[in-house]
A and B are shown apart, each in its own frame.
Chain A
Amino acid sequence: MTPLGFTLLALGISYFAGLLGSLVGVGGGIIVVPALTLLMGVSIQKAIAASIVSVIATSSGAAATYVSQRITNMRLGMILEVATVTGALTGAYLAALVPGRGLFLIFALVLTYTAWSMLRPGGRSISPVPDPLADRLRLHGSFFDRSLGAEVPYRVFRTKLGLAVSYVAGVASGLLGIGGGVFKVPVMNLAMGIPIKACTATSNFMIGVTAATSAAVYFMRGEVLPFVAAPVAVGVLLGARTGASLLGGTRNSTIRVIFVAVLAVSALKMFLEALK
């Protein structure tokens, strides 16, 4: 393959990953890393480094929109960021210690979890409990839901659980080059009492800072290769933009099935790679 061929192929795959990801509500990293390693021969460490950089671009781009529409709960985001950023540092450090086969194995497990979480029914919310910490820090919020045409106020519960889960999401992000929203959003929605739109917006808001933390570690380590990271960052962002303009938040079940199939095949191939 020539450099031009590699660049165009990486651009195309990343565009597809960003498009598909935004259509089903996850980031592109979960597809970019398998594609770069399995299809294009990039080492998993370099693929993760390129992916985490692209995660900054997509999440910051989307966050700009959510923040200006005031859907993001910035106070809550900034509290939970302390945990995601600490997790990201841990994850980026672990990534240097875990051998490539271990990274393939952990990635395959996260792919499997993501596929499963997309298929299972919505889940039931856990009953609200008083949360003095959320009261003291004034984390409760409200946003204007355009589809309802009304202001939606909500109270926040279980801030400490949110911090714990955010730490785990941060570790996954730093270790695997993904956003980690797939871990945070269900807990924020079902256990912390936050409406799903505010969860998505707030999780996304945190992901930029989380990814920047681990990206800085990878960058200083020399793992972020300009040749690989450039087409991936541009491709994923453009794909995500197209996805966002195609359908404003509705969920298409055919696309979900395709996405789950892509995840399942990637998981299987990454398991095999780990066993090699």
Chain B
Amino acid sequence: MTSRDNGPLAGTEKAISRVLRVGVTASLALVTAGTLLSFLRPGGYSDQPGEVARLIGNGGTFPRTAGWLIGGLLHLNGAAVIVAGLILLIATPVIRVAVSIVAFARERDRPFVVITAIVLGLLLLSLVLGKSG
């Protein structure tokens, strides 16, 4: 194989590929485990009439505070484990962008450090804006 002109990134390709693969696998393992817990453990999904309507409902009461998440994880609450998996899934591309910034910085590629930093900034902004929106 010939050498490539995208050389600066060549060493990074492996790291980026691994971040993506591990992130997706781990998050879906959590989501699957959380679903099983929700079915198997008390306090998860019930078989009462109207349960599905409640679970897909528009009540907007879905708890999403950090305290609820940590407490839920400690008690192996199925929904909390699923949410942890979903957060990891959303974080996976963010970590990928952060890894890219480090790679470009190491190559002293100023324009690309700025460009990737902007992408990271927008990603983090989406979390803040989502909260207020």
Chain A residues with CB under 8 Å of chain B are 1-7, 40-43, 46, 53, 56-57, 60-61, 63-65, 67-68, 70, 73-75, 78-79, 81-82, 85-86, 88-89, 92-93, 96, 137-138, 140-142, 144, 151, 208-209, 211-222, 224-231, 233-234, 237
Contact = CB atoms under 8 A, between A and B. Distances in A.
B77 to A, nearest CB: 10
B86 A82 contact: no
Interface string B20-51: 11011001100110110011000001110001
B90 A70 contact: no
Q: How large is the interface on B (under 10, 10 to 19, 20 to 34, 35 or more residues)?
A: 35 or more
Contacts of A93: 129, 133
A57 B27 contact: yes
Contacts of A217: 126-127, 129-130, 133
A226 B126 CA distance: 20
Nearest first, the 8 closest Cβ-Cβ pairs linking A and B are A220-B130, A217-B130, A3-B45, A226-B82, A64-B20, A227-B55, A212-B93, A208-B93
Contacts of B12: 74
Given A60-B23, A88-B126, A226-B82, 7 more contacts: A67-B17, A78-B115, A92-B133, A142-B6, A222-B64, A229-B86, A233-B28
A4 B94 CA distance: 33
A57 B24 contact: yes
Nearest to A226: B82
Contact of A63 (B20, B60, B87): B20
A3 B55 contact: yes
B126 A2 contact: no
- Counting chain A CB atoms within 10 Å of each CB, the highest count among B45, B112, B122 belongs to B122
A237 B34 contact: no
Given A220-B127, A220-B131, A3 B34 contact: no
Contacts of B112: 75, 78, 137
7 contacts: A4-B45, A6-B55, A63-B17, A78-B112, A78-B119, A217-B126, A219-B130
Given A3-B52, A4-B39, A142 B4 contact: yes
B39 A3 contact: yes
Nearest to B81: A226
Nearest to A59: B93
B53 to A, nearest CB: 8
Contacts of A224: 86
B31 A151 contact: no
B3 to A, nearest CB: 10
Given A3-B45, A92-B126, A234 B13 contact: no
B20 A67 contact: yes
A57 B127 contact: no
Given A3-B51, A86-B122, A144-B1, A221 B9 contact: no
A232 to B, nearest CB: 10
Nearest to A47: B56
B76 interface: no
A25 B25 CA distance: 22
